[in-house]
Structure 1
């Protein structure tokens, strides 16, 4: 991601990631962190939303404030094995968004 995505015509910046949200590695510090979604939302500027999945949990919506821009980033996880579908859409302006999960 970079600040130039808007100048290239993108309306939103969405990340889809196979990773969890906890920010903590599950297998110890000797391996890379496989749960970085909240850390990415917090540390990388100009992201609007992250759709993630790793821990087989359903997260309808969670907002993380980015440390640089102070904007809220929407995080959503649709559970596992196709059990749920995630939908995110802007209310009045992105990233102040609504999201839902459905079967």
Structure 2
């Protein structure tokens, strides 16, 4: 088994793999030296209006983890709350098995919250 060569700043890179199975998308086993030419700080990406890791946010250029209360904000129109499609009102069957995907079979509204 090949060991992973992570640099101290890998965790803050845009390409970092948080699962721990890879170092990143570009260098799966880590960079070949003590410096990575492909490093892009997540803060730089966020300032340009791109991707931010789920559960995290930026304030003044600093990355911070959202508090549990910020993560648990609900959308009162979501089918998990109402049992109905927010676009057409289709009623979802809330039988014995839990619903994982709330995509509407009537109007094709897609739940992109997952």
Instruction: Tell me whether the two structures share a fold, i.e. TM-score over 0.5.
Output: no
TM tier, smaller: under 0.3
Task: Report the TM-score, using the length of structure 1 for normalisation.
Answer: 0.23
Greater helix proportion: 2
Of the two, which has the highest radius of gyration? 2
